Structure 1
Amino acid sequence: MSDQPAQPPRPDFVPKPPLLAAAYIFASAFIALSQSLGQGFLSANTQTLGGELGATQTETMWLMVVFMAPRAVMPLMLIKIRMQFGLRRFAEISIVIYAIVALISLLAGDLRSALATELLSGISAAPLSTLAFLYMLEPLPPEKKLTVGLPMALTFISLGTPLARAINPLIMFDGSWTNVLMLKLGMSMVCLFLVYRLPLVSGPTMKVIKGMDLTSFALIAASFSGFVACFTTGATYWWLQTPWVGQLMAGSLVALVVALVIELQRKEPLIDVRWLLSPAMLHLTAALLIFRFILAEQSAGAPGLFQTLGFSQDQMAPLFWWITLGTFAGGAACALVLRPDRVPMIHIGALLLIAAGAGMDAHSNMTVSPRDMFLSQSLIAFASMMFLPSAMANGLLTALQKGPTYLLSFIIIFLSSQILGGTIGAGLFRTFTAARTTAHTEWIKEQLATGDPLVSARIAQYMSQLSGSLVDTVQLKTQAVVQLSTVVTRQATVAAYNDVYTAICFIALAALAMLLGHLLLNTLRAWMADPAPAAQ
């Protein structure tokens, strides 16, 4: 990347008046919440949208696919677009498109139109993460941008998903998706006002987009979109029973390999593949992906368990208020303690909290309720916001040490790994849960053999409970068997989620062991190198 043109110099920092600085921070928080609430509401209501759109639950899952796919791939071009066309123009055009799409979304009345509008929503929402970062960093002095601005921007970006589930019963009080669309439209109008009223300082522009950038972008976009589709729907269609899932996965891998080969041959690549394949960046990327897989427990774990057990959105809302509180507290704590030399200790603490939270959840039983996971899920949410900002700050420092041109490659890998990694993690979580549920169900049914006196006694107990409403003996026994089957399914589901929570606990502990080993190795190397200069 040494052949690339130098970055244009940024204007010197000029402190803003306190009220104006607070306005920029508020704009950052509001823009971040506007984007993440949209994703959170869609995730929370995917199963209930079918009735309004005249589609099945399986079909409505594709709404999540078309919304998330652009968000995974758009970071590839957004940074260069901002550099070429200017920060202010980038912000204004992005927010206008977002507001227009929010208005168009009100016209969707069936699955096809909803898919089209959600695709546009995903494309138009992708720049909002960048805008949230820029507005948070704008009023802060240089020494506070990484240690305070970065954690707070990431916190508000992450806050929307649990907050959407917490307030979903209030917004969807009559079950109409139009309520959510109206809220998104209103928030987009406020974002539009904030962006035009609070302009960002824009530096010089430069031509950075090349013709081959578009080719590489198209290939990587096709690849990432395929991965999002496979891991979002694979657990539902089931991997081994639907040929197109495997074919799409193979095609996505081929497209990614071709894109990487093209990038390796370019003098001015879209992303510096060689640097990203260096040991330090591979270590950071692996850590980010592992952490996103672990955090899938919060996005696909607790909600999936309680939905399967029949809990309503109202009953689950208090749990997500606690997760929201834990997320905010974690971001605030990270902003207070974050320094480059403290990053390893922050990661150790985060992994310990995740292991503790997952370990607590792994002991759930058939009477588990959202209240039982208030503490454990809050710990995991707190840990997530301790880990992510510190990891991103560490990566940014590594990139800046190599030179400003490496910043683009790191931001791409960070944003894409978070979105794509989260989608893959949630897909693997659902797949493993489904497989373990089937295994536990079969095992329980084997134990409940027809001639087993315990089974007969349990059926007799259910028949006695139902005897007041049913008279026919055959119907009584049939209903009793149905009740027993329901209990078996519930028990198998809880056992499967316990297995997943246990696995996440062990993964967190394994990651902790590797981190401690890495730190110990670095300490030994430093200790062995110290005496050499003294001896001379």
Structure 2
Amino acid sequence: MPVSTEYQFKPHEQPFMVGSPANPDHPARRKVLYLLIGIIIGLTAGFQNGLLVVNLNTIQGELGLTPVEGGWISVSYNMTNACITVLLYKIRQQFGMSLFSKIALFFLLLATSLQWLVSSGLLTVYIGNLLDPYYLELIARGISGIAASAMTVLAIFYSLQGMPAAKRISGMILGFGLVQFGTPLSRIVSPYLAVEGDIESLFLFQFGLALLCFGLINLLELPPGKTDKVFEKLDILSFTFFAGGLAALCVFLVQGRITWWTTPWLSYPLIIALIGISTALWIETHRKSPMLQVRWMRSRNIIAFMVTGAVMRILLSEQSVGTAGLLTNLGYSNDQMVGFYGVVVAATLLALLISIWLTKATELRRPVIFAVALIALGAWIDTGASLNSTPEMFYMSQFFIAFAAVYFMGPMVFEGMLRAIANGPAYIISFSVIFSISQTIGGLVGAAIIQAFTTIRTQTHYADMMNSANLGDPATLPQIIQNVTRQATVAAYQDLFFVMAVMATVTTIILLLNFAYNRYHKRNPLSKELAILAKMREGK
């Protein structure tokens, strides 16, 4: 189908595939504008989840929610964010980038305006008797998950337009990397926006970012691309099972942390997740034109890619859940940790710039090994945590881990895209789903494992310490219990950092051995894919 524009694109400017924008030779000024807009969109996408994670307790307090109800807010965001990738890809292919951009903006404005209206109480005045603000927040967070996924795609495409042809893949690294700024930046700005627990300014800020994106995207739209009729009737059935299964898995992972894993009703979402995802994969395996290339996804290289991505996300929970959890238990609040997260932002920025500049298709394994080694080093440093630890004492270790969080992502995205493109454009959607799920679900699994581990180890240390404690005067018993609880908590986190350090060290050794084996035998794991891409370039 021809590109729907009067301008006739040159052969090298044509869209790479159906559903992606064309890549015209922009003048330098327009390239800069595309790049700046991509950066703003990427940061806005990151704030969708970052502000939720950072301020969930404040939102619970403002709305008078229990921890379980607060957990459902987190579930609402994660379940839509994890499963919507497939549908968004098809929408781009069927209806083009222009409509896709409008849909993304609609969901972004709807989500942020709902959250602001709920926090301000304006909406409650008119429909408070019809719908509880809590349910409005659930709806808003579900929409926000969709918006964040769509805005991430737009950030990538805008960044690609702003990059020179030789560095175009760096635009993809930039788009994914920008989203990683969401949580640390949210930690920095939240104390200044949510003063004394007032969340209205927080959501007004988010709504303002949405309006800014709306203006910028309408000011400079993406070039048009090719469209095709890609939706099939079976897509609805397959997506329903797939989305339902992922949603149930999110329920299990989030609520399991809150209600504990032995809660009887948690078995139901786990069963639903297994049935839903298995059924969707079975349908896709036996379709003539599948959305997901299941046989390719089951190949050894892709499973290794998915496992590596998930393991990295679990290891990186050492920072987002481990260190942050310890400092919270030691009594430090967000406003006392602005400097700490400033270091995290600086490390993230440095890693992103280096990754954009140095990532090469022929050297994708070495940066991943380096990133895992940095996580191991940071975790070993953190094993020295104590009751007297302050945020400043974690600056070095968390700089290493924050750097690793972004530095590994560029090569991972690069490798996944190479493997997908070499097999054909139809495989890119499968890569997108694999990467999205490995990061979202991997993060939830990491948080769940850490919470379970620290809870069990805290109870064990507490029992041991109380058995050996000299209780003495009954009047001092409450103070003794408080001190023992704090000591047991710190000891549990020391155990956590040790386990994470060992896991990261073992992972580094395994990756190093694999790297050395390939070097010794002069093998490139991506030689086949690189050869196919070289032929594709020659064909152009």
Q: Normalization by structure 2: what TM-score?
A: 0.88
Given candidates 505, 511, 521, the residue that maps to 1:509 is 505
Deviations 1:213-268 (A, max 9, x none): 1111111111111111111121220001x111122112211111111111111111
Q: Is the aligned partner of 1:300 residue 2:321?
A: yes
- The separation in 2 between residues aligned to 1:227 and 1:298, in whole angstroms, is 23
Q: Is the aligned partner of 1:220 residue 2:242?
A: yes
- Look up the match of 2:161: 138
- Look up the match of 1:467: none
- The separation in 2 between residues aligned to 1:371 and 1:384, in whole angstroms, is 20
- Look up the match of 1:193: 215
Q: How does 1:236-251 map to 2 (within 5 A)?
A: 236-240=258-262, 242-251=263-272
Given candidates 126, 139, 143, the residue that maps to 2:149 is 126
- The separation in 2 between residues aligned to 1:155 and 1:517, in whole angstroms, is 28
- The separation in 2 between residues aligned to 1:339 and 1:492, in whole angstroms, is 46
- Look up the match of 2:287: 266
1:60 alignment partner, SS class:
helix
Q: Is the CA contact (8 Å cut-off) linking 2:38 and 2:157 kept in structure 1?
A: yes
- The separation in 1 between residues aligned to 2:428 and 2:277, in whole angstroms, is 21
Deviations 1:269-288 (A, max 9, x none): 11000001111111111110
- Look up the match of 1:410: 431
1:405 alignment partner, SS class:
helix
- Look up the match of 1:42: 52
2:490 alignment partner, SS class:
helix
- The separation in 1 between residues aligned to 2:74 and 2:18, in whole angstroms, is 38
Given candidates 313, 325, 339, the residue that maps to 1:318 is 339
Given candidates 105, 110, 117, the residue that maps to 1:100 is 110
Query: 1:290, CA displacement in angstroms?
Result: 0.5
Deviations 1:39-85 (A, max 9, x none): 11111111122221121233212211111110000112111111110
Q: Is the aligned partner of 1:352 residue 2:373?
A: yes
Given candidates 360, 378, 390, the residue that maps to 1:339 is 360
Equivalent residue letter for 1:334: S
- The separation in 2 between residues aligned to 1:519 and 1:44, in whole angstroms, is 38
- 86 and 360 in structure 1: CA distance in 2 versus 1, 3 angstrom threshold: same
Deviations 1:95-138 (A, max 9, x none): 12311332222332532222122222222332111111111011
Query: 1:356, CA displacement in angstroms?
Result: 0.5
- The separation in 2 between residues aligned to 1:102 and 1:60, in whole angstroms, is 18
- Look up the match of 2:130: none
- Look up the match of 1:462: none
- The separation in 1 between residues aligned to 2:107 and 2:373, in whole angstroms, is 42
- The separation in 2 between residues aligned to 1:101 and 1:406, in whole angstroms, is 31
Q: Is the aligned partner of 1:521 residue 2:517?
A: yes
Query: 1:514, CA displacement in angstroms?
Result: 1.4
- The separation in 2 between residues aligned to 1:111 and 1:9, in whole angstroms, is 37
Q: How does 1:378-397 map to 2 (within 5 A)?
A: 378-397=399-418
Query: 1:14, CA displacement in angstroms?
Result: 2.7
- 288 and 121 in structure 1: CA distance in 2 versus 1, 3 angstrom threshold: same
- The separation in 1 between residues aligned to 2:446 and 2:236, in whole angstroms, is 28
Of 373-382 and 342-351, more deviation after overlay is shown by: 342-351
Q: Is the CA contact (8 Å cut-off) linking 2:19 and 2:97 kept in structure 1?
A: no
Q: Is the aligned partner of 1:181 residue 2:178?
A: no
Given candidates 470, 491, 494, the residue that maps to 2:490 is 494
- 487 and 25 in structure 1: CA distance in 2 versus 1, 3 angstrom threshold: same
Deviations 1:346-367 (A, max 9, x none): 1121111110101111110111
1:48 alignment partner, SS class:
helix
Q: Is the aligned partner of 1:117 residue 2:140?
A: yes
Query: 1:8, CA displacement in angstroms?
Result: 4.3
Of 6-15 and 41-50, more deviation after overlay is shown by: 6-15
Q: Is the aligned partner of 1:206 residue 2:233?
A: no
- The separation in 2 between residues aligned to 1:353 and 1:376, in whole angstroms, is 9
Equivalent residue letter for 2:67: Q
1:174 alignment partner, SS class:
helix
Equivalent residue letter for 1:48: T
1:435 alignment partner, SS class:
helix
- The separation in 2 between residues aligned to 1:335 and 1:279, in whole angstroms, is 28
Q: Is the CA contact (8 Å cut-off) linking 2:152 and 2:179 kept in structure 1?
A: yes
CA RMSD for the aligned pairs?
1.8
Q: Is the CA contact (8 Å cut-off) linking 1:352 and 1:512 kept in structure 2?
A: yes
- 38 and 10 in structure 1: CA distance in 2 versus 1, 3 angstrom threshold: closer
Equivalent residue letter for 1:484: I
Q: Is the CA contact (8 Å cut-off) linking 1:92 and 1:195 kept in structure 2?
A: no
2:197 alignment partner, SS class:
coil
Q: Is the CA contact (8 Å cut-off) linking 1:364 and 1:494 kept in structure 2?
A: yes
Equivalent residue letter for 1:143: A
Percent identity (aligned): 29
Query: 1:410, CA displacement in angstroms?
Result: 0.8
Q: Which runs of 5+ in 1 are unaligned?
A: 1-5, 460-476, 528-536
- The separation in 2 between residues aligned to 1:370 and 1:326, in whole angstroms, is 16
- The separation in 1 between residues aligned to 2:68 and 2:388, in whole angstroms, is 29
Q: Is the CA contact (8 Å cut-off) linking 1:151 and 1:332 kept in structure 2?
A: no
- Look up the match of 1:52: 62
- 208 and 488 in structure 1: CA distance in 2 versus 1, 3 angstrom threshold: same
- The separation in 2 between residues aligned to 1:185 and 1:7, in whole angstroms, is 33
Q: Normalization by structure 1: what TM-score?
A: 0.89
- 306 and 405 in structure 1: CA distance in 2 versus 1, 3 angstrom threshold: same
Deviations 1:126-165 (A, max 9, x none): 211111111101122332121x212322221111111101
Query: 1:524, CA displacement in angstroms?
Result: 4.3
- Look up the match of 2:536: none
- The separation in 2 between residues aligned to 1:67 and 1:275, in whole angstroms, is 29
- The separation in 1 between residues aligned to 2:441 and 2:166, in whole angstroms, is 31
Deviations 1:437-458 (A, max 9, x none): 111111111222xxx4xx53xx
Q: Is the CA contact (8 Å cut-off) linking 2:80 and 2:145 kept in structure 1?
A: yes
Query: 1:497, CA displacement in angstroms?
Result: 1.0
Q: Is the aligned partner of 1:229 residue 2:251?
A: yes
Equivalent residue letter for 1:127: A
Q: How does 1:145-164 map to 2 (within 5 A)?
A: 145-146=168-169, 148-164=170-186
Query: 1:417, CA displacement in angstroms?
Result: 1.5
- The separation in 1 between residues aligned to 2:294 and 2:165, in whole angstroms, is 29
Query: 1:7, CA displacement in angstroms?
Result: 4.4
Equivalent residue letter for 2:504: A
- The separation in 2 between residues aligned to 1:11 and 1:221, in whole angstroms, is 27
Given candidates 82, 86, 103, the residue that maps to 1:76 is 86
Given candidates 445, 449, 454, the residue that maps to 1:424 is 445
Q: Is the CA contact (8 Å cut-off) linking 1:163 and 1:324 kept in structure 2?
A: yes
Q: Is the CA contact (8 Å cut-off) linking 2:114 and 2:136 kept in structure 1?
A: no
2:57 alignment partner, SS class:
coil
1:342 alignment partner, SS class:
coil
